[in-house]
Each structure stands twice: as C-alpha cells, then as structure tokens.
Structure 1
Amino acid sequence: MAAGMETGSAIDVLIAGGGYVGLCTALALKQGAPSLAVAVVDPAPAGAGSRDGRASAIAAAAKRMLETLGIWQQIEATSQPITEMIVTDSRLRDAVRPIFLTFSGSVENGEPFAHMVPNGALVGALSEACRIAGVELISGDSVADFTTRAASVEAKLASGGTITARLLVAADGAKSRLRDLAGIRTVGWSYGQSGIVTTVQHERPHHGRAEEHFLPAGPFAILPLPGNRSSLVWSERTEHADRLVQADEFTFQLELERRFGHHLGPIEAIGPRRAYPIGLKLARSFIAPRVALVGDAAHAIHPIAGQGLNLGFKDAAALAETVVDAARLGLDPGTLDILERYERWRRFDTVQMGIVTDGLTRLFSNDNPALRILRDVGLGLVDRLPRLKESFIGAASDVGQAGPRLLRGEVI
C-alpha cells in the first residue's frame, strides 16, 4: 500500500492499471471534480513506465485533450508532428513501390492530424500531473480480486490490503484479469500476425512523413520521430516474426532493409525489438455492477489504422465526463444507470473501428491478385477525391467529431 493510504480505505474511484489510459482517466477525474478521491494501483515499480523507449501516435483530438489537462506543454518538445502520409501496396520482391495514396497531415488551421510521442515522456508527465492533482499512486501492487456490494466494491490487493471504492475501473490491458473477474466475456480472433516494434536511425531526414507499406504478410509502418529516427510497427506472420526478433543483427538488418528501402539512406535499428500478437478482441460489455472497462481491457484492435491508443483516450474522456457530471449532481457514479451512459457513448464507436480495422486487415494482408486490383483501384480513386480524403483525415484526427468535451479541447 502507498504511504498515504491505509488498508481498508474508502475512496470514490479506484483505477487498476497505471498506463496512459489509466493515468489519463485519473487525471481527468481529479481535475474535473477535485473532491473525488481517486487512486491508481499498478503492478510495475514506481517510474517504470517513464523508462519505456517506444513511441505512440497521438491523434489531434487526443492532443487537444492532453493540452486541456496541462500535459501537452511538457511533452511537446519531445514530440514529432506527422506532416504527410503515403500509402503503397506492393510485394516484397517488387523493385518499385508505387504510391497509391497521399495525405496532407493537417486539419483545422494547419494543425497536424497526429503526433508521435515518446511513451516514457507521456507516462512520466501524466504520473507527475496526477501526483500534483492529488491522485493516490500505488505502485508495485495490483487488484487480485474484488467483491461487489450494493453501494461499493471492495478490492483485494495482491499485497493483502483492501480498498473500498464506489467505482472500480479496469485499465489493466488486453488480458484484463478484472474483466474476467467481472464475468465480462469477449469476442475476437487472432490474425496469425505479430507486430514487431523497434526504432530505426537513418541518414536522411523524414520531414515528418509517415509511410504505410501494405505487404502480403501485413502492413509495415514507418512513423517519424524527432531527428533522423523513425518508429516501426512491422506486422509479420507470427512464426516469422518470432524468428526475426530472435535473429542475429546481420539477419535482422537484411530483412529490415528489404522492407524499409533506401530512400532515407543507410538505416540502423537502434532500439530493442519486441513482438506482440495481433488480434481483434472486443468486450461484450464495457460495464458491470460498479465496474467500467477502459483501454485495451475493453478493446484490442489491429494497429493497421494506428487508433488503439486513441480509442483508449476516448474511453478516458468519456468515462471521466460521465462520472464528473454525476458527482456534480450528487449522484453515485458507480451505479449501472450512470455507467450505461458511458457504455452507450463508447460501444458503437469501438465496434465500428473494430469492423473497419478487421476489414482493412483482411483486404490488404494477402497476395490475392483480384483483391490487389480492387484495393489499388480504390486507393487511386480516393487519392483523386479531395473531399473524401478530407473525411479520412477528419476521422483519423477525430477533430470535429461529436464526443466528450476533453477531446474538443474543453474542460469538463
């Protein structure tokens, strides 16, 4: 237990999971209703998240939320705006990769539709903001079990302590233990792919351009980072991905160059290699009595559209607004009628994104000649229709979409 919290403490909201989504939910709740007692419990040691060397794509709407929460100002200097995006569709052996689709990377008033942000800087800034706001941060512990009562939920910690809350938020990832304990089932499947994530250094500048290369084994995304560096999200057949991650430097470099190309000069992988299985998993319900799911605990989708983290930030904004509005009216934020508003707000959007990413994955992760002709013609048509391209940019950035106030840059 944290020094400031004793076993048996009673609070308003307990969040299980101290990643970006859990911390963002906690900060939004505390800033929106300072009187709420909020705690975050996470099994990782204190400061572990701030040492994460990976990076994530943050959509414009999520960036506005971080600005409103006072976080963006701290991480902006370490971020990289995405100023352009290109899409290709080719085979690995093809000598030339024709560009079928290009996107300008701006939305309203020239604002970039997305930024690449270092994970460590983001988690560090959120943790510090939570601490300043008065959120209780409990590291090196986790919720092992819980018991739901009429007016509260009692969380039993792995350390042996207990915390009683009016609402328990599961932000504990795609393999969520709390989701299972709540009896919430999931629907989904594996794509037989794994995502290899690493950082690459290259000789020439990327000028803020992101690249999505559709290859038969899966998409190969090159995402710009500050300086002459890029983050890779490399989808491969699982058995091949495992071999690549375990391969020697020479073999990995050869396979990397075959996919990356030489347009940015000589390249070198400078970050650790990690591979994680890719699949679709959607919770059949986002809520249970006194329990709400956010982030990957509620949904895990293919990274083909780069929207996984942004969906989690939408969850955080929607749940925070729902709970804060209830608290201001003197209502119990853990009751099902309150939580159902959150679920209605988020479920359709999440299922819709799951369907879109699933369709894109099945359309592009193959070498079927008929499908290749169909998708290349489709990409070419989109590239020649400016209004349709603008609608895709709007969807990717979430700017102008109806949704929680934080995503519009408004305080709760």
Structure 2
Amino acid sequence: MAKTSSPAGAADRHDILILGGGLVGASLAIALGQAGLRVALIDRDTPADQVQDRFDGRGSAVSLASKRVLVGLGVWDAIAEKGPILDIRVSDGPSRLHLHYDHRTVGDEPMGWIIENRFLRRALHKIVAQTPNVDWLAPARTTGFERGPGWVGLTLEDGRSLRAPLLVGAEGRHSPTRDWAGISVRRVEYHQTGIVCAVEHEKPHQGIAHERFLPIGPLALLPLEHPNRSSVVWTEDPAKVPGFLALSDEDFAYEIERRFGPWLGKMRMVGPRWNYPLTALMANRFYGDRIVLAGDSAHGVHPIAGQGVNLGWRDVAALAELLVEAARTGTDLGSPALLARYEAWRKPIALACWRRPTC
C-alpha cells in the first residue's frame, strides 16, 4: 500500500521530489531514502495494478552492473524469478553460422538476466514500502509546477503542495518534468515496430539468448527462468504488424518459429502480445533550474542491446552518489554545479548508446 504524507492543502517539504515511480524512479527513492534523505515519490499509477500476478511476457534485460546496484539497494534478493543469460548467439538471416559468446570467457557470473517486469516492480514496491524517509504517493497526479527562491514545487490533484530543493523527472520518454523545464530533445524514428510476447518451446533454452538479424531488423529470444520459456522481441515493418497481430496464437507462433529456425523446436504462445513503435530520443540537457532528468526522461535508446533500463540504473547510482555526498557536506541539492557534474558523468555514456545502440 502506498505511503501518505501530510493532508490535502498543506505544504509538505522534502529533500527530493521524484516524479515517476517506475523502475528508475523507485530505485532512486530507495537509494536516497536509505541514505537518510526525505523523498516524495509521486506516481500516477495504482501500485496494485503494477504488481498483478498475470504473466504478460514483458521483461527487462538486467546487466551485471545493474545487478550490483539492485543488490546494494536490497532489491535483488526480493526478485522472485530471474532468468540468467549464460551465452549469447548472434546469427544473420538464413545463415546457419553464428557468433557464440560464452559467459565463462569473462568470469563466473552470467552475462545478465532476463527478469519479468512484474517481478521487478513487485520487488521494488516491497523495498520502497520498507524504506524510511520515503513518502510514496500513488496514485497521484500533478496539476502544476512552480519554482521559488531555493525550491521547486508540485501541486497534486488532491490539492496537496510539495516543495524541495530538487525535482527529479523519471516519468519516461513523455516526461512532463522535461517539458516544464523547457528541455528540448533530439529524436530518431526507426520506422520499425517492436512486437513483444513470450513463447514456450519444445527444447530448453539452456540460458542462451538468441539474436537473429533479419532484413527488417533483429528477432531476439531471451531466456526466462522457466527452462522452456523465452521472451520474444520481434522487429517488424509497421505496415505488416496489424496483420500479424490478427493471427491466431498458433499461426503467430509459427511465424516466430519460421523466422527463428529449428534451435528451440516447436513453439506455442503464452500470454498476450504487445507492440511499440521503435524510436530513440536524447535530451539536449540533463538538468535545468532545480530539475534533473533520469532514465528514459533523459535518454531513450533502441532496444537491440537491452541497454534502456540499465542506463537508467546507472543514472540512479551516479545521481544518488552525488546527492548523498552533497547532503552530508551541506551543499544545496539543486546547485547548478552539482547537476552539471551529473550531466558530465552520464551524458557522454548515454550519447554513445544513443548513436550506437549496441554500446
């Protein structure tokens, strides 16, 4: 259940306001709250709706670096299921040849994990609820932004007023915080649609992530914890997507199987299908006057290399380190010099992934 703070109409002061309670925003709230900063985490979605038990096939690729962030927050052990990526196989079109990357060539840890988003959200919500100093306001919608000497503020739909030295925009690609700050973005339209779903297959995946490059774009099968179940990310021509989505489950699974080849045997659909236009964006600035951006609010990249949420968690690590250090030394948390350090730390890496998605 979401935490509440002061009653409607009252001024409520915090050290940090975070708008957006997704994977990045919730992680940052935990990091700052655990360090003793008072945080308001504001999210428009109802928490119970985000942690439903129903399998929907959507997952995230979690890197080893991101695992370390989640371990540090106490979130990792709360994640119910994790599908380790032990090997990666990359193939091109109809060729039977492939590149094979074995995790044992770089160490004992898996190369990453495929984790269903419902399990990530559930673990984050559990730790947020246990974290002192975090006022978790959800569902809550903002009706206004304001700024004064040394503070930035939000007005919520219920009349509540929130103030803090700094506002973090972590709402995703369509960030109201970014728009309010007047930060422009550069966009790339790939003229592709990503179809996301999950399949069960005849043969076990053995922890192998497959990426098959086809003329329109890549088809990825990513191992979930169940040995005979994988998450699918299928890149397709937008004009053809409605026809594929209209197919029966049997015919749709056959289309995946036909494109993928015989590696995993016969396939069948599990869960619904989702589709998204594939685009990328990069904020021209990562901060404004007492405002800073994190995660997809600052940078949205092509999903080909699974870097999206991992870039966001690296934002969390960098921003939390700077803000906690500033709080300990009595530095203004909204200081332009502090926020410029964050941008200098994170923007070059995000730009590299934006320009070259396989960074």
TM-score (norm 1): 0.82
**Which residue of 1 is the match for residue 21 of structure 2?**
18
**Which residue of 2 is the match for residue 102 of structure 1?**
100
Q: Distance in 2 between the 1:242 and 1:172 partners?
A: 28
Q: Distance in 2 between the 1:154 and 1:251 partners?
A: 52
Q: Distance in 2 between the 1:88 and 1:57 partners?
A: 19
Q: 1:60 and 1:106, CA in 2 relative to 1: closer, same or farther beyond 3 A?
A: farther
Q: CA RMSD in A?
A: 1.7
Q: Distance in 1 between the 2:191 and 2:268 partners?
A: 27
**Which residue of 1 is the match for residue 113 of structure 2?**
115
**Which residue of 2 is the match for residue 323 of structure 1?**
323
**Which residue of 1 is the match for residue 74 of structure 2?**
70
Q: Distance in 1 between the 2:285 and 2:73 partners?
A: 28
**Which residue of 2 is the match for residue 154 of structure 1?**
153
Do the aligned residues in 1 keep the contact of 2:43 with 2:137 (CA within 8 Å)? yes
Q: Could you tell which deviates more after superposition, 42-51 or 269-278?
A: 42-51
Q: Could you tell which deviates more after superposition, 108-117 or 299-308?
A: 108-117
**Which residue of 1 is the match for residue 196 of structure 2?**
197
Structure (1 or 2) with the greater strand fraction: 2
Letter of the structure 2 residue corresponding to residue 64 of structure 1: R
Q: Tell me the number of residue pairs that the alignment of Structure 1 and Structure 2 aligns.
A: 351
Per-residue CA deviation, residues 364-401 of structure 1 (Å, 9 max, x unaligned), is xxxxxxxxxxxxxxxxxxxxxxxxxxxxxxx7xxxxxx
Letter of the structure 2 residue corresponding to residue 88 of structure 1: S
Shift of 1:108: 5.4
Do the aligned residues in 1 keep the contact of 2:216 with 2:235 (CA within 8 Å)? yes
**Misfit runs of 4+, over 6 Å:** none
Q: Distance in 1 between the 2:106 and 2:188 partners?
A: 37
**Which residue of 2 is the match for residue 167 of structure 1?**
166
Do the aligned residues in 1 keep the contact of 2:3 with 2:129 (CA within 8 Å)? no
Q: Distance in 1 between the 2:143 and 2:230 partners?
A: 38
Aligned 1:252-267 pairs, distance under 5 A:
252-267=252-267
Aligned 1:9-408 pairs, distance under 5 A:
9-31=12-34, 33-34=35-36, 36-51=37-52, 53=56, 54-75=58-79, 78-90=81-93, 94=94, 97-106=95-104, 109-134=107-132, 135-227=134-226, 228-357=228-357
Shift of 1:106: 4.4
Structure (1 or 2) with the greater helix fraction: 1
Shift of 1:244: 2.0
Letter of the structure 2 residue corresponding to residue 214 of structure 1: F
Query: What 5-or-longer segments of structure 1 have no aligned partner?
Result: 361-394, 396-412
Per-residue CA deviation, residues 294-326 of structure 1 (Å, 9 max, x unaligned), is 111111111111111100111111111111110
Q: Distance in 2 between the 1:190 and 1:19 partners?
A: 24
Letter of the structure 2 residue corresponding to residue 37 of structure 1: R
Letter of the structure 2 residue corresponding to residue 23 of structure 1: A
SS at match of 2:187: strand
Do the aligned residues in 1 keep the contact of 2:90 with 2:98 (CA within 8 Å)? yes
Q: Distance in 2 between the 1:293 and 1:105 partners?
A: 33
Q: Distance in 2 between the 1:203 and 1:254 partners?
A: 13
Q: Distance in 2 between the 1:267 and 1:251 partners?
A: 10
SS at match of 2:47: coil
Q: Distance in 1 between the 2:114 and 2:295 partners?
A: 19
Q: Distance in 2 between the 1:243 and 1:157 partners?
A: 42
Per-residue CA deviation, residues 17-46 of structure 1 (Å, 9 max, x unaligned), is 111000011111112x21x11011111112
Q: Distance in 1 between the 2:105 and 2:350 partners?
A: 23
Do the aligned residues in 2 keep the contact of 1:105 with 1:114 (CA within 8 Å)? no
Shift of 1:346: 0.3
Q: Distance in 2 between the 1:99 and 1:44 partners?
A: 46
Do the aligned residues in 2 keep the contact of 1:16 with 1:170 (CA within 8 Å)? yes
Identity percentage of aligned residues = 39
Letter of the structure 1 residue corresponding to residue 143 of structure 2: A
Letter of the structure 2 residue corresponding to residue 203 of structure 1: E
Q: Distance in 2 between the 1:248 and 1:189 partners?
A: 33
Q: Could you tell which deviates more after superposition, 220-229 or 50-59?
A: 50-59
Do the aligned residues in 2 keep the contact of 1:145 with 1:181 (CA within 8 Å)? no
